[in-house]
Amino acid sequence: MMEKSRFPWTGKDLSPGRNFFVAKILVIALAAFMCHGCGPTNEEIMAMEQARVERETQARAEAEASRQAEEARRQAEEARLAQVRAIETAGDEAARQGELEKALDNYQQVLKNVQRYGEQDQRVRQDVIKVVRAMPGPPPLPESVMRSMVRAETKIKMGGAGSYEAAAAEMEQAVLDAPWLADAYYNLSIVKEKGGKFGQAIQNLQLCLLADPQNRNAAAIQAKIYELEVLKEDQEKMQALQGSWNKGSITVTLEGEKILVNGGFIQVTRKGRALEGFITISGHQEYWFNPYTNSTDYRGKPCQIPGETVPVTGIISEDGRTMEFRWMESKYQTTFGGPEGFFADATEVFCSGVALVGKEERTFKIEKDNQETKPASIGQQSEEPEKQVIKRKSSRLQR
């Protein structure tokens, strides 16, 4: 029979179960009594709340200060642009009144305060050329123009990385100091073309023809403009290849004339719509395919399939929305040894051989994402090419 215990202050007998329940209540009450005053005091709570409010107030003040600073910058820029437009308008009015030197002075002030190769820049340069052509004779050529042109030519002769960009910077200063000089625009177009800036080269040749329409090489210059237009269109097609493909799993980047797929998994160069280059196939492990369970068994020791880099060709679609690659990939046959039978221990299966049995053609097609598709990070390799590249047949040694 279960024994009972008696509590002196009640005089009642309690079973062990009830005794435990009462003891538990007493322990909880004792813990609550001992922890009285363990939490933060009212003063500490108020201090923490005040600190929180101060942090939020400071954050709001900083955000407001940043907004006001941005608004001040915007208003200052609007005021600057309005002043530039006013100077241009004054130049237009001076030109209409026949005050050509004043008009030229105003236009040159505008050119120092607008973005190069922008719409306003091109328009004002055309106005400068028209004003200078209306003068009895061209203005004196500043010494700085000759200095910039010589420095540009010297930097090209020196060569090295960035030589054309450095020469272009010098020539830009020349056409800023003398925005009516045809030779300066022509020379600038040459270095812009060498640097791959075909659109800017076209603008400079157009200004060159406007400044000197009687140039004996005018026909050749116009033909060069047509040639640069083709190169510009081709460059734009090339640049359009950059970005996210296959729903963000593929990233295409450009490195000079090279097209890199996922940071170099595929490297090709383009000739028109045709692609040529190399594809790098990573080595991998291949496990035994268990015929009894009709699935790959990962418990044994795998075979190591070697990687390789092989030539690849491809084609870009007419609209530039798809690229398809083809290559010949090594085909391997794997064999495995170990115990036989449905109940055999698969952990003892081992790779007994890897043999090259031939080549097989592989294809891989990618499709350009819309702009809103999130691109994959550079170097990330998608699952789709991995599946196409490394999926090979295996067989187990029959003993």
Q: Is 385 helix (H, G, I), strand (E, B) or coil?
A: helix
Pairwise pLDDT comparison (227 vs 45), residue with the higher score: 227
236-277 confidence digits (pLDDT tens): 989 999 999 998 899 999 988 899 999 888 999 998 889 999
Which amino acid, one-letter code, is at 36?
A: H
**Among 263, 252, 291, 280, which residue's Cα sits nearest to residue 394?**
291
Place 193 in a pLDDT band, splitting at 50, 70 and 90: very high
Q: How far apart are CA 390 and CA 285, in angstroms?
A: 9
CATH number of 140-238: 1.25.40.10
344-386 confidence digits (pLDDT tens): 788 899 999 999 999 999 999 999 988 644 443 333 333 334 3
E strands, 138-282, where?
Answer: 243-245, 250-255, 258-261, 266-271, 274-281
Burial class (CB within 10 angstroms; exposed 0-12, middle 13-18, buried 19+) of 337:
middle
Predicted pLDDT of residue 10? 47
Q: How far apart are CA 338 and CA 350, in angstroms?
A: 6
Q: DSSP state, 341?
A: S
Mean pLDDT (the chain, rounded): 85
Q: Using the predicted structure, report yes or no on whether residue 307 has a pLDDT greater than 90.
A: yes
269-300 confidence digits (pLDDT tens): 998 889 999 999 999 999 999 888 899 999 99
Q: Using the predicted structure, report yes or no on whether residue 336 has a pLDDT greater than 90.
A: yes
Predicted pLDDT of residue 127? 97
22-62 confidence digits (pLDDT tens): 566 666 666 555 555 566 888 888 999 999 999 999 999 99
E strands, the chain, where?
Answer: 5-7, 12-14, 243-245, 250-255, 258-261, 266-271, 274-281, 284-286, 288-290, 295-297, 303-305, 308-316, 322-337, 350-367
Domain ranges of the chain: 5-34, 52-131, 140-238, 243-390
Predicted pLDDT of residue 97? 95
2-15 confidence digits (pLDDT tens): 444 444 444 455 45
Place of tokens 């790779």: 351
145-190 confidence digits (pLDDT tens): 999 999 999 999 998 888 999 999 999 999 999 999 999 999 999 9
Predicted pLDDT of residue 303? 95
